[in-house]
Chain A
Amino acid sequence: MLLLLVAGGAQALWADDGGIAMNTDPDTGIKRWKVTADGLDIELIQVPPDFIRASYSARGLPPSVSEAVATRCVFGTIVRNVSDMPLAYRVADWRYMNAEGVERPIKTKSEWLEEWHGMGVRFSWSILADDPTFAVGDWIQGFTTLAEPHGSRVSLKVVWSIGGRRYEKVLSNLECAPAPENDA
């Protein structure tokens, strides 16, 4: 089924050709989305802001670092090469569309690290790698951070290449993790 997303007031028109599996953890309420398309397998998992705060605090990172990430819409992202050739992607090529239909780039790992290194923070592992090339069977995980409020709905356009050919996939109607009750 071809689902067309027409964003109100915006020129953008993103086609989501389906195939996306979504499920909700019955114990935690955490939602996750997964799709395999053209040699790429990608999974997005809601990351609650309190998880980010706890995780960064356990690493000894200052509150200024954890808050900058925790106040965003964050998805744990697992990307896997399921093709039989090398696969490459650049997060700088990815875009998301918010509920108002505004298309935006994603803050990359390199951009985060530039900020953190400027603050004297050497931690460099939580954010999704921004320009890897995967050999057969390689996979990686990390946070994808969108500048949207908790609880927002967004669509994500993922772009990658295999053998010099460009592919893209839209994952629509994703839900950012809700704000904790005591933040509301």
Chain B
Amino acid sequence: MRKTTALLLLLAVSAAGAADLPPLGHEMNPISPPLAAPDFKLPDMDGESHALSDFRGKVVMLNFWATWCPPCRREMPSMQRLFEKYSERGLVVVALNQFEDPDLVFEFTGRLSLEPTFPILFDRESRVSEQYKVKGLPTTYLLDRQGRIRYRAIGGREFDHPEVEALIEGLL
């Protein structure tokens, strides 16, 4: 009974939070001077390791997120649309899940209307987010082809907004 009540409360609070969250903006703020993005190596859903350096030469959108974070969930479809639009021209989206189990994330992504096709990596102890000095979720960095951090956004965004697309066009 207590467990059921807790789950109902969990759903109620989540729903209340999602209904009245602030609208997602589209600002990506420049990092000046650009900083070298720390390299890392993390497993994906299948346990296969990926390093950031594997993507050198591409423009990389690095997104720190978790399934329990409402704005993370809200912005994910716009990241997928962006990825679909620009992947052939050299954009890679990499989503770094924080502190969650791959099975839980697999179940979550299967329920999305637009299932992500970009890599989701697992930062199970948040060590990479510490390297990037991430203060809260979601946080997103945009890296240029030289592996430098050029833009940052803290909080949810609509990434397929024309102004974000213009920044990506400028980096491609």
Contact = CB atoms under 8 A, between A and B. Distances in A.
Interface of A: 25, 27-28, 30, 32, 41, 43, 45, 47-48, 50-51, 53-55, 58-59, 76, 78, 80, 122-125, 128-129, 132, 134-142, 180, 182
Given A123-B99, A141-B71, A30 B29 contact: no
B9 A141 contact: no
A136 to B, nearest CB: 5
B136 A78 contact: no
A43 B17 CA distance: 11
A47 B70 CA distance: 15
19 contacts: A28-B12, A43-B20, A45-B16, A47-B13, A50-B9, A51-B6, A53-B6, A54-B6, A55-B10, A58-B10, A80-B22, A128-B136, A129-B135, A138-B29, A138-B154, A139-B155, A140-B136, A141-B71, A180-B5
A105 to B, nearest CB: 20
A132 B12 contact: no
Nearest to A28: B12
Interface in B134-157: 135-137, 152-156
B125 interface: yes
Contacts of B17: 45, 76
Contact of B9 (A54, A123, A137): A54
Contacts of B154: 132, 134-135, 138-140
Contacts of A132: 135-136, 154
B9 A125 contact: no
Interface in B74-123: 98-100
Interface of B: 2-3, 5-7, 9-10, 12-13, 16-17, 20-22, 25-27, 29, 66, 68-71, 98-100, 125-126, 135-137, 152-156
Contacts of A45: 13, 16-17
A35 to B, nearest CB: 13
Shortest 8 CB-CB distances between A and B: which pairs?
Answer: A137-B27, A135-B29, A139-B155, A54-B6, A140-B136, A129-B135, A138-B154, A28-B12
B76 to A, nearest CB: 16
A81 to B, nearest CB: 9
B16 A125 contact: no
Given A78-B21, A142-B136, A125 B12 contact: no
B34 to A, nearest CB: 15
A162 to B, nearest CB: 15
B155 A80 contact: yes
Contacts of B10: 51, 54-55, 58
A24 B32 CA distance: 43
B155 A51 contact: no
A25 B29 CA distance: 35
Nearest to B154: A138
A58 B107 CA distance: 14
Contacts of B155: 80, 137-140
A47 to B, nearest CB: 7
A66 to B, nearest CB: 11
B98 A125 contact: yes
A100 to B, nearest CB: 29
Contacts of A54: 3, 6-7, 9-10
A51 B126 contact: no
